[in-house]
Each structure stands twice: as C-alpha cells, then as structure tokens.
Structure 1
C-alpha cells in the first residue's frame, strides 16, 4: 500500500469513527480565562469538571472547550501555574454555555495542582508528530538543552567531547543540517555560531518542541528531518531567574534571565537573557595509544585531555510594548555572543591536536511585531526581521604532531591543514519572516508564510591574503500556505499545506589573466526551485484516545558551510544539490487519570525516503550527496505520575537507516558495494528511563526535595560500512549504558534552589560520535534563585 492510499483509507476510517461518535459529548461548555491584573489571556490553564475525568487546557488565546454528554449541575475548577485556583458551579440547560474565568496571581506555586493535560501534552495531541518537553523539572539541574533532548523519543545527540564540543543532532535518523533550531519560532543561528543547544542553559527555556519529519508552514523552514523550537517565558509578569553551577573538569555555568516593567499594568517591558560557560574539559582518555621509546612500539595508556579549554558567553536585551491598539507585541532587540575553543582532536581520537584554536563572535539586531484582528476580525499578522554578523577564526600554525601524553614531534605541515593557516570566515546575514493567517470561522482558517534568508560567505587565510577575492552568496526563499479545518467540535482536525523552496547562489571563479597578469574573475549565478506539499490529520476517538497521521514531500536546501566549507576541516563542494524526502508518520496517544494516578502513552511508526542525502565524508573532508537513503522505524513512550510524590517514564526508539543507492553515481552501471547496508556511525536502537520521587513540605513549609534517576542505553553499531569488512574485523561503537542521578531541594516556594548531580555514576567508557570518548564520572552542584 502506498502512502497516499494509506492516508485515503485512514481518512475514510476517521469519517466512519466520526459518524459513530458525533452524538457523544453534544453539550458544550466554553469560555475564556484571563488574568485579573491586566486582562491578558492565560494559555495552558487546566479546566476540570469536579468528580469526573472531563477537562481541557486553554489555548494560546486563553479559550477552552469542555464537552459533556448530559445536562445537569456541574462545578468547573480552573488552575494555572502562578495563579490561584477558581471554581464556578453552573446548571447546564442549553447546548452551548459560555463561562469565563478571571484568575488572581498566586504566591505558592506548589499549591497549584494540574488535574488536566499540560500544555506539552496538548501539543502532543496535535496532528503533527511532536515531542513537547516542559523544562520545569530540569530547572535546578546543570543540564543544557542537548542533554534534555537526548532523553526524548526519536532524538539522538552525539557529541565529540565535553562542554562546547561539536555534536550531531538527529531526529528519526535524519541529522546534521536536516534539523533546524528555533528560538520562539525564529532561527537560532541568526544569533551566531555561539548559540548552539549545548551552550544554552535549560533555564532559558520554558518548553522545548520537536517536530518530526513533517513541519508546519509557520516556521518557514526547509527542515527535512524536523525542527527544535525553544519556547521562552512569554508572560508579561516580572521575574528574575539567576543560577550558577560548578562541576568536574573545572566546569562553570551561569545564567541570568529577567523581565522588568514599571508596574503590573504598564505596557512597557524589558527582557534580558544571558549565559556564561567555561570548562577545562581535562577528563581522562582511557586506553589511548602513545609511542613508547623504550619498547619502541605503541602502547595503550590513560591520559588527561590537555588542550580542550572552552569558553562562551551570550547577552541579549529586548525592549518594547504589549497590548497596544496598534500592536499586540512590538519589540526591538540586540544581542552579542562569542566563544573561544581549544581543539583537542579531529573526527577521530587518533588525530590529536595541541595548538589549534577556534573562536568566534557575533552581533545581532532584530525587530518583531505581532497584531491579531488586524483591520478585520480573524486577520492576524506576525513579522520578524534581523540583521546579523557572524565571524569565525581558526588558528592552525603549529608544525607539530602531538600525542596524548602532550609530547610532540616536528612536522612538515600544521595539525589540520596542508599549510599554516589563520582562517577568517565572516557571514553577514539578513533575515525576514512574514506570517499572515486568517480565521474564516472556528472551523476553517488559512495561513501564509514567507521567509527570506540571505547569507554572504567570505573566507580566506589571513597569512596570505587581506580579503576573500571570490566571496559567495546564498539566498533562500521559502513560501508556505496552509489550510486548517476541524469537524465535530474539534475532534477531527486536518491541515493541508504546500511549500516553495528557492535557493540562489553566487560564486566567483577565475576566468583568465589579463595582459598585465592580473586575475579576471567570472561571477556565476544559479537559482533552483523545488515544490513540496503535505497533510496532517488527527481524530480524537475519546477525550483520552486519539490517532493521527502526517505526510510531507520535503526539501532541505544547502547550507553555507556545506557548500563553501568552514575554512579548516570542511572543504567546499559547489556541486551539492538540495536534499528531498518523502516523510510519513502515523501513531496514537492515550492518557487517563484515576484519582491521583496519571498515565500517558504514545507510539508511532515513521518512514523517511531521502534522495540526494547530504552526508559528511571524512576521507574527502566535504559534504556529498548520497542518492538515496531509506529510514523506517518505530518509537514509543510511557509515563506515570502519582500526585507530586513519585513518577517515571520509559521511551524506546528503533530506526533502520539503509543506503538505497544501487550505483556509484547517476548514469553509472557500476554497483555501489554499500547498497542495502546500514548507514554507519548511526545507532539503530536506544532507550531512556527516568524515575523520580519527591516530597513537598518535608523540610519546612514551601519546600520540596526530589531525587531523579536517569538511565540511557544505546545499542552497538558499526563505525564504517558493513561491506568493507566482516563482523570480526569491522570496528564497532560498543553498547552504552549510562546512569545519572540528580538530587534537588527548593525552599520558600521555589525561590531558593540547590541541585547536586552525578553523571555516568558507574564511570563507564562512554563513546559517541566516531567513537570519540566522552567524559567519565562527573559531579556538579547548582545554585538557583527565582522570583516572580
């Protein structure tokens, strides 16, 4: 059965289910939940009908809908984090009853009991396949966003070392540039190369959303594998969140996030976000080879990393107004960031560096504007624009060959390049995104999105040149249009969408020499267009059980680094073509609550068929197109929570990634020896488990103590193609079983917090990307102050 046939059959099944179910839940209670201080809507508020399992969660506009099967007397209870609980009793006599709630700010956050579905769970019940993670549970840990995401289904984060190291992020097998990162819906890399997931502290995020394979047009992205969206605290309340942590390998992390306004009713707001990271990363490399002059042979010994210091910092400020007649949101922002990194290894741990350094800095200016009901009711506009400058420098001048004991011998060329190099890469960038949506009525709406992204790439060796004589330019245009519809009081939801992907490149090349011997350059231009489309559908069989499916013909445009290189480890490949893929998801979810027992489970199947798959080839030191890569697999998760005392979760992911290229290149009859092989250096099976136990008011009123235990397992996988060896000779990445534990204690209703944690408790040898060793056992302590 083809995917289209499946979706057609799936839709017919939904119609049958809907026809059978449309008589239930015929009585509707709806309304809007707002804050008493400023009248603003409260999203994510939980509405529960007492003495039943019925409930709902308010949307971004603060509205909710609850359906019941009979008339009668009902008591509605509304709760939201940061607000006092409110109740109202009604006598239901009509088909549609409207009840609004106004909530007052609360002082004790632990008094709020969430009986219904969290905002993260509501997102998971959309037609798109989404991981949604509330970061509140990690707020008192030293975790960065990479470490949080690596514990979720279908996601693997494989790092090359410790703090600040390069990493590969994959969603359902598609990795690298196939995955895009956003901060409140805006591309994260606009803020510079410092802004990567392993730099950003967890306290910066309120929630993290991972869209897998099929992505809404709102993001204006060419993300073929999926996206990660970091959602910050968008409330209009004043708050201060400051933290500092210290850990093994001289690791320091600090963050400060705050929002200020003159008074609670004022429309003026100033937001500040910042972080600082530092680490020596001098953990032990176990069993590495060094030359023993006495034995006149290589021997295996343990040595500490000696050239892996990392430092990064970011600061951002935004100022603007909210809730004005001419704008719901208007902010102007500025940010700056930078990093300095010693490079210890190449892509393999036998490539030891002792002098190479990489550093960079960036500046960014932005403006964002949002207005609902513009000119007419139902017409909404959202605009974001930015100008950025990012600079990267790589120093590779030492004519040496290092060993893990820190000794070196003289060499005929530097550590990474063929000649001494101080590379300078600058990338000026202009970005704009316009999103316009129109609600025809409550059941039908349209969405139009246009994204423009222009990057200029200048790269040269400052030891030989004073500028780049052949700068290159990459321009992306992504246009998306979507139509959303809902039936049967929102139980059946569909989204149909189409996208246009355009990429323009400009690159100079040497044409000839003039009569004076000067170089004459020729400017080459190219523009390519590709068109994608997709559909996402979901049906709620009951309030607790739902099924969904989605499909997209997606494209991923080339990135600047992939085409033009990075000046040190990656060389240009101007013949690179965009990736394309047919992405399909299908799954179900189920949630229920019995008294204080909460249970949630979801499972799904996914299929990806990527053409012109862009893959980094270490031997060639560049990105190349693999004609076809096929991925299929399944994933599932189970969660349980008993009140606020004990809980746990378990998730498992399996993905089979196969090289589907029959011949070595297009038009050739030479068979590809790796056809049908698993793509190497990619884990196929991994799972995560989490157990937590905690108690409120155990050590005083307004206190909470909690212990979390995390376990992660990754099955062994081949380091290189199976066809290039046999099971006994082909190198493998061994299986990994890593345990982490965190103990946190909060006082004065979460104002003062301390966390102590241990990672890799059993001190296992942890391998990851290209079998590069990760840190062994490590300890850390974190202090956090939070007030709202």
Structure 2
C-alpha cells in the first residue's frame, strides 16, 4: 500500500505541474551552434544574453541552449580563449526560421584575462534537481590525498576500509552501504572492471570530478541502487596534453599516474592512454591479542604487520573519431590490470596469516558510440571481458603475530585446514544503451537500459566437493543475468524556476548455481532464482533565485543481489544463494543557497524504510557473508557549510546524523537496535589558505579534521546506548570489544607551484597526532604517515 500511495501521489503531482505550466509565462529558447572559422565545433565557449542573467557553456557538439523571457530581439555575447569576442543581435524571427550558427574568428594576440560567466559542468551538477555531492578532484590533484580521503571529507559519506592501501573499501551513505550504492565511470557501471578500478585505487589525477548521487538516480545512470551512486568522471581535454604524478609515503608506499592525449589538428581523430600504479608494504603497527603457543595465555601486544603487501597495475589505451557527420564520438579502448595482495588477516584481526596471497588480472576491450541526431541523442557502450582471480593457501602450518611459523603437518593451509589453490574465471558481457529525445523546448525524454550477463567457472583441488559425486563445485557453471531499464522525462516550468524528473524502472534477474550453506559446505542442491520488479521515482527542484533553491525526491526502489554477493569472491567472502532483493521507500528534502566567493550552505534530510536490506556481516573471525536484514527504518540529516573568511582563507565544515534501527524483529533485545557496524554521527572541518607571489609561485596550505562517534559491531539493546542527546555524548552502558571508539584524525599539508600550473610539489602529514584508527569490522588502520608528491603537466 505504501508503494501504491507513493505512485498515486507522484502521478497527481506531475499532472498538477503540467497544469501549472499551461498558465505560466511563456519562455523562449535561444539555441544555436558555435564554430570556428574552419567549421569545427567549439566546446566550452561562454554564451551570455545581454541584459539578462542568462548564460551557458557549449556542449561537446558546440551547441548551447538558454531559456529566456520573450523579447523581440536578443544580443548574444560569446567568448572563447584564443578567439575574438563575438557580439551579435538576433530576432525572434531568426530563432524560429533557421538554425543559429555563430562563428568565432581566431585571435592571435595574447589574452591576459577572459571572464567567463557560464557555469562549468561541476557547477551545473550541483544545481540539478537530483541531489549530487560534487567532489572536485581537479582542484586538489596536487595534494597527496586519496579519493577515499576526499570522499570522507564530504557530508553524508563514509568510505570504510579493511586495512591499508588496496584493502576492500565499502561506501556508506545516508543509511545505505556497500552494493546498495552503485559505482560508475563516465556513466557506465563499473562491474566489468572487477577490483582493478575502484574508489580505493584510482588516483585523483585521473579524474575531473566525482558525482555522488544521494537517493534518486538520474535516468542516464539507471541502476538498481537504493542509496545512490558514485560516478567517477574522467578528465576530458580539448586538445593535447600529458600529465604525470608520483607519490612516495610511509610504509614503503608508492603511487604513480600517467595521462596522455593526442588530437590531430582537424579534431577528428584522437588517441590516448591512462595508467596508474599502487604499491605499499602496509607494514604499520597494530594492537592485537597474542596467544602463547605453550601456555595458551592471551596478552595484548603492539606488533608490525609483516604480510600485508599490495601491488596494483592498471593501464588503458584508447582512440577514436570525433565530430563527424555520422558520429560525435566513437571510442575504442583496451584495459589491462593486475592485482597482487598478501593476506595478513581475514574478516577480523583475531588470527594472522603469513603466506596466503590473492591475485586478479584481466584484459578488457570496450566500445562506445555517441551521436546527436537533432532532437534524438544516442549513447551505446559494449564490453566483454574475463576476470581471473586466484587464492593460494598451501602453508602446512600457522603463523603468530611476530611472523614465526608453527608447522602442522595435518593442515593443507593456514586459513583453513583443507587449504586453497583456487583459480576462478568470471566472464562478463555488459551493454548500456541510452536514448534522449527532446519532445518540446522544456521536455526531455530518456530511456536507459543496462544488461549484464556473468558466468563463473574454475577449479580448486583443495576446495569444496559435491557430497554425491565428489566433483569440484567450482568446475560446475554458475550463471547470473540482470537487466535494469529506466524511462524518464525531465520538464521545466515557470521559466525554469521549477524542474521535475519523473522516472519509472524495471528490474529483472535470474541466477543458477550449486547451493552452499553459511559455513561453506556444498549442499549439492542446484538452485535457480528469478525475479521481476518495478520502481518509480520523482525529483523536484524549485529555485527561489539563481543560487537558492529547494529539492525534494521520493522513490520506491528495488536493489537486486549482485553476483559477488551470491557467488562470493573466492577469497574471504562466502557465497549466499538465498539472498532476496532489498526494497525501499526513500524520501529526501534539501535546501541550498550560496553567494559567489562568500559562502555556500546546504541542508538535507532523508527518510528510509527498507525490507530485506542486504548487509555484509562477519560470520566468524575469518569470513564475511551478505545476509538479509528483514526490516530497517530511520531518518537523518546533514549540513555542509563553506565560508570565505578572508581573501586568502576559506573554511568548510559538515556533519551527518543518521538513526537507522531494526523494527518488527520479534526479538525484544534487537527491537529498535541501531543497524550494526554502521556509524551514526560523523563530522569534518577544513581550512584552506592560498598565498600568491611566494618566490614567484603559489603556496596552498590546508588542515583537515575528521571525527567519528563510537558505534557498535553488533546489535546493542537501545537501553544500553549512551544517555546523551541523540547518543552524541556519554558512554555506552557496557564494555565489550564490539565497541568501535570515538575517533578524531588531524591532517595537514601544503602544495607549492613554483611557476604556473605546470609543475607542483605537495606534502601531507596524515593523522599527525597518531590516533588509533579503526574501520570496517573494527580492523585497525595506519597511524601517522608522511606523504610527498610531485606533479608535472605538459600542454
């Protein structure tokens, strides 16, 4: 009934909006194409209407579109670096009769300064009706900061890792976590790249920005997400460049990246490459419990990790054609990556390992075609890939926390008695099709379809066998197929003061494999599952002024189990073929205002009620498994404020509170307990100072503080929580290892560009007070570390 009522309200609301539009003041759409004297499209040209606060930047096809009050004529100003400024007056008759083509002439003089009045893509993304947290990675690429750290400084977002560089990273946002939040690169789901390209590995130098959508997703993404999505937007150069960075840090950490692009003079052909390296010993100190082999006495100790090395290589070569009659962009890519990981511990730090390793590698071709045919736009992506994973656990004995090997001839491995020598292949085929059609001047219809077909096969001579035949269960095929379709219409009303997005979705998946119980025992039962579901969402934005507006969104959403949640990862994550799709009703309300170069303020609130929430849980001290939590509901709010204190000093801060609890459990102790292993309050503070003319260069100083309130590994009765307001102070009424304590981290650093933006150096001291840092499942992360980074750009 809740979904029916929500659907009814959304449809009624949409009909009312269309009725409002009938009586609204009629607007005119000024649109055209900007070219150079050779007839090439100009991307990023600033277009402004004189006497009106209306402007835009041209898109990749050189086109612009500006909604403006009805007038007999308009005077257009167009500016673009390297070209003479164009001022031209056009009439309404010109707009209606023909396509407006505006040509800029080359300006061979040196331009000292050009004032651009349009908004960048990053600025535009912040103003959409669907809430998006924009992380401007390009602005901080000189800092030796990871993408994980940048996202953790944002309101409502926490990235939890199970260790140092390269460890598993899970995103938590507005009450949802892990795979309920989908990951994309340039609008394409990232599943096909396996573990080779993710938020814990990608250097910030590779990205233009990161768009974090909270709640409802745009139609163009169209995934089965409950809590939102992360879209990593890669850099898009207009011509030619090469850029390299290198970082060296504590614990023998090295990170390098290289980006290069060449475009011919006609701008019809391009070729480029992106590559990065991550390597670290991750040999930081941790607090553990050491068991004496002779007396079995358990004593606390501080030891250095000795088998925690991580190495990752990634490279992508690409090329293609642009700006031709039959294609706006045709891009062909080939990606190769390799991961080598030493396993120091499992789901907790209860037992050390000293020989087990995991590996993953793949070669992945991709194809993408984009073209606008007038009102119709097409974007098609295809890829097929095989991702190979392996786990080696053949030590006949165990290790202690000091690295001493204790032989045990009865064992085949240190992680488990039977050991492991698995070799697994995951086969992917992914297709994403997006169609956009402009029905009228203020209506855009979109359709997005993503289909994924995955198969798993492999072998493990030490692994699980079918009880009836003794067959290796990895040798038996496991299949997973999923399709997500979204159809939406975006409309503007009241001279673009009111924007509405109405989206409908369809979900289907089916899977078949051999069933395995919670302890990893092959049951021998062949299991096949299939399900269809529907969803609907609406997002509204009402602008009071250009920079002040309200946002509202509501959604009845479904999230299908992912293949790795059902099949496991062949490592420390167990399979669970009994997982059910999670379904949620989500409501979001927000307000944003800003004054350029002075301040910006954003306040958001959210409410969720979720059935069969899929949660990653530890099932013992070694392994984790995804399981359904029947009923969870709660609300939360977040605030983000940025202020320019002086011309050279800027401060920003944010905090997030979320209260998600179990209900209808039938268990008196669990009823109204907070969702386990989930932070409920965290906050950030930052200071940035930019000083010019320092030795003919520019110096940037910065400081960041992050605080996370204590939370709990397992479900805790509400009566045992702290008595303070909202649980924000005081102590829990029990003392147990499953309390993750309050954490406060301080980091500071600087970047210096001695001459322009071609070369820079950066230094950062992370966690310089050496606080104890605990993350997902109470696994301890590194303490104090020092980082040094150099960047060089050739344009």
Query: Normalising to structure 1: TM-score of the pair?
Result: 0.87
Whether contact under 8 Å (1:583, 1:608) holds in the other structure is yes
Q: Any idea what SS the aligned residue of 1:137 has?
A: helix
Kept after mapping to 1: 8 A contact 2:673/2:718: no
Matched, 1:567 2:561: no
SS in 1 for 2:545: coil
CA–CA separation in structure 1 for the residues paired with 2:527 and 2:165:
41
> Of residues 127, 145, 148 in structure 2, which corresponds to 1:146?
148
Answer yes or no: is the 8 Å Cα contact 1:311–1:340 preserved in 2: yes
User: Is the CA contact (8 Å cut-off) linking 1:50 and 1:77 kept in structure 2?
Assistant: no
Q: 1:318 to 1:505 in 2, by over 3 A?
A: same
Per the alignment, residue 662 of structure 1 pairs with: 665
Q: Using the TM superposition, give the Cα deviation of residue 429 of structure 1 relative to its aligned residue in structure 2, in angstroms.
A: 0.8
Counterpart of 1:741 in structure 2 is: 748
Q: Which residue in 1 is equivalent to 2:337?
A: 337
In structure 1, what is the equivalent of residue 628 of structure 2?
Answer: 625
1:766 counterpart = 2:773: yes
- On the 8 A contact 1:333/1:367 being kept in 2, the answer is yes
Matched, 1:691 2:718: no
Distance 1:32 1:758, change over 3 A: farther
Distance change >3 Å, CA 485–CA 48, structure 1 → 2 = closer
In structure 2, the residue matched to 1:264 is 265
Which residue pairs with 2:493 in the alignment? 487
1:57, CA displacement in angstroms? 5.2
Q: Is the 8 A contact 1:86 1:101 kept in 2?
A: no
Q: Which residue of 1 aligns with 2:212?
A: 210
Unaligned runs of 5+ in 1: 511-518, 664-670
Kept after mapping to 2: 8 A contact 1:85/1:112: no
User: Is 1:719 matched up with 2:713?
Assistant: yes
Q: How far 1:589 sits from its partner (Å)?
A: 1.4
For the residues of structure 1 that align with 2:110 and 2:682, how far apart are their CA atoms? 39
Deviation digits for residues 328-352 of structure 1 (CA, Å, limit 9, x no counterpart): 1112111110110111122222222
Query: CA–CA distance in 1 between the matches of 2:698 and 2:34?
Result: 29
Contact kept, 8 Å, 2:672 with 2:718, in 1: the verdict is: no
Q: After superposition, what is the alpha-carbon deviation per residue over 1:153-208, rounded to whole angstroms, capped at 9, x for unaligned?
A: 21100111111011221121211111111111112231232222111111111111
1:675 is matched with which residue: 665, 671, 675?
A: 671
Counterpart CA distance in 1 for 2:703 and 2:744 is 13
Partner of 1:709: 703
Residue range with higher mean Cα deviation, 463-472 or 212-221 = 463-472
The answer as to 2:512 corresponding to 1:506 is yes
State which drifts further: 234-243 or 34-43. 34-43
Distance in 1, matches of 2:776 and 2:531, equals: 33
User: Do the aligned partners of residues 384 and 786 (structure 1) sit closer, same or farther apart at CA in structure 2, a change above 3 Å counting?
Assistant: same
The answer as to 2:551 corresponding to 1:548 is yes
Q: Residues 126-275 of structure 1: matches in 2 within 5 Å?
A: 126-261=128-263, 263-275=264-276
Deviation at residue 550 of structure 1 after TM alignment: 1.2
1:128-527 equivalences under 5 Å are 128-261=130-263, 263-285=264-286, 287-291=287-291, 297-373=297-373, 377-410=374-407, 413=411, 414-463=413-462, 468-508=474-514, 525-527=528-530
Aligned to 1:580: 583
Tell me, in whole angstroms, the C-alpha distance in 2 between the residues paired with 1:739 and 1:645: 22
Distance in 1, Cα, partners of 2:59 & 2:642: 23
Task: Judge conservation of contact 1:7–1:549 (CA < 8 Å) in 2.
Answer: no
Structure 1 residue 531, shift from structure 2 partner: 0.8
Shift of 1:431: 0.9
Distance 1:85 1:547 in 2: 38
Alpha-carbon contact 2:354-2:403 (below 8 Å) kept: yes
CA distance in 1, matches of 2:110, 2:499: 37
What's the CA shift for 1:574? 1.5
Larger CA deviation: 104-113 vs 339-348: 104-113
1:531–1:27 CA distance, 2 compared to 1 (3 A): closer
- 2: distance between equivalents of 1:644 and 1:430? 52
Contact 1:356–1:396 (CA under 8 A) maintained in structure 2: yes
User: Does the CA contact (< 8 Å) of 2:498 and 2:540 recur in 1?
Assistant: yes
TM-score, L = length of structure 2: 0.87
Give the corresponding residue for 2:727: none
1:514 aligned partner: none
After superposition, what is the alpha-carbon deviation per residue over 1:524-554, rounded to whole angstroms, capped at 9, x for unaligned?
Answer: 5442111111111112122121112112211
Task: Name the structure 2 match of 1:124.
Answer: 126
1:653 counterpart residue number:
656
Cα 1:480–1:7, aligned 2, differ >3 Å: closer, same or farther?
closer
What is the alpha-carbon distance in structure 1 between the residues aligned to residue 305 and residue 789 of structure 2?
Answer: 25
Change (3 A) 1:101 1:463: same
C-alpha contact (below 8 Å) 1:478/1:501 kept by paired residues: yes
- Alignment partners' CA distance in 2, 1:757 and 1:107: 40
Superposition RMSD in Å: 3.6
How far the C-alpha of 1:109 sits from its partner, in A, is 11
Are the structure 2 counterparts of residues 778 and 444 from structure 1 closer, same or farther at C-alpha, using a change threshold of 3 Å? same
* Cα deviations by residue, 1:23-72 (Å, 9 ceiling, x for unpaired): 7x9798766555678733424x6667899977555566552537589999
Partners of 2:73 and 2:92 within 8 A in 1: no
Q: Could you say which residue in structure 2 is the equivalent of 1:591?
A: 594
Query: 1:751/1:68 Cα in 2 relative to 1: closer, same or farther (>3 Å)?
Result: farther
Shift in alpha-carbon separation, 1:35–1:197, aligned structure 2, 3 A:
farther
State how far apart, in whole Å, the 2-side matches of 1:247 and 1:492 are: 49
Which residue is 2:728 aligned to?
none
Distance 1:326 1:59, change over 3 A: closer
Q: Report how far residue 578 of structure 1 moved.
A: 1.1
Distance 1:409 1:276, change over 3 A: same
Q: Which moved more, 1:412-421 or 1:484-493?
A: 412-421
Task: Give structure 2 stretches of 5+ with no counterpart.
Answer: 464-470, 517-521, 721-732
Q: Could you tell me whether the CA contact under 8 Å between 1:73 and 1:89 is conserved in 2?
A: no
